[in-house]
Amino acid sequence: MATSAAANLEDVASVDLMTELLRRMKCSTKPDKRLILVGPPGSGKGTQSPIIKDEYCLCHLATGDMLRAAVAAKTPLGVKAKEAMEKGLLVSDDLVVGIINEALEKPSCQKGFILDGFPRTVVQAEKLDEMLKRRGVKVDKVLNFAIDDAILEERITGRWIHPSSGRSYHSKFAPPKVPGIDDVTGEPLVQRKDDTAAVLKSRLEAFHKQTEPVIDYYSKKRIVANLHADKPPQEVTAEVQKVLS
């Protein structure tokens, strides 16, 4: 195993090795952090999470992506998830928490994690807390991206995404250098099918009904930080850094 790992490293460009080595040296001094980002669609979680991830050397756990990856990798939990999906059933909370638990074994999650899009209900929050307790850790901070519903429609309908990296742009607030093109790769940007006013309305209803009680649940534990998510991204970033420092 060690030989094959060494052989693989021989094929890695020196600049990539040095970048990773420098990243690990920088990360070694960072405090561990386990964070949950909560907020309605369009509140800026997707803009802030890569910044937080890089600054604090955390892994970003988006449950939808993790489920798809587990299904593709045919892990035992992925196989169970696939069976549920094929029957048209929702993947159970226990399965999702199990997949998060699996992901936390990865080296990239050593310093902690950012959970985005989960938990969406109080039951999920309780199950997550139980799993983390078994690991001897707990959620350190819940960042609540507080914003008025009216502001979200303008934000959502102008949003463009670079699919492979998750980089997000906005035709008004954060336009790419060339319209419809990712700044870094030059690849085309896409609009998500659910980035429409009608879909937003139903998603906001679900958020207020299901997820706002999650904020109350964590507020009782005194770990919620309310952010002014209607501010420009740089100001929100400054607020996040103040909360986490």
Active site residues: 45, 120, 159, 192, 203
Q: Look at residues 42, 34, 232 and name the one whose alpha carbon lies nearest to residue 156.
A: 42
Give the containing element (helix H, strand E) for 197.
helix 197-206
**Strands 224-228, 141-146: parallel, antiparallel or unpaired by DSSP?**
parallel
| String of DSSP letters for 30-82 | SPPEEEEEE--TTSSHHHHHHHHHHHHT-EEEEHHHHHHHHHHHT-HHHHHHH
Q: Which two tokens stand for residue 18?
A: 């040095």
Beta-bridged to residue 37, according to DSSP, are 116, 143
161: three-class secondary structure by DSSP: strand
Edge to edge, the sheet with strand 224-228 lists 59-62, 112-116, 33-38, 141-146, 224-228
- 67-75: long-range pairs with CB below 8 Å, 24+: 67/91, 67/96, 67/99, 70/99, 70/102, 75/99, 75/102
